[in-house]
Amino acid sequence: MSLKWTDSRELAIELSEVYPDTDPKLILFTDLRQWILDLEEFDDDPKHCSERVLEAVQMCWMEEED
């Protein structure tokens, strides 16, 4: 399965597994973007990322943590 920018929930789940000790509220968007690009399952155009996309992933990750 390949992940796209629109897969906010799935990206958040993957990130929470790769970075289990990270508080998603404290992540810089520049780091979040790079971490998503580094995910093995991620396959989308890096140019299609926006602040809104990163906010959605961050929100989903915070929900996963609760």
8-65 has which CATH code? 1.10.10.600
Rounded to two decimals, the pTM is: 0.94
- Cβ-based neighbours of 47, under 8 Å, separated by 6 or more: none
Q: Does residue 1 carry a pLDDT above 90?
A: no
% of residues, the chain, pLDDT over 70: 100
pLDDT average, residue stretch 17-28? 96
User: What are the boundaries of each domain within the chain?
Assistant: 8-65
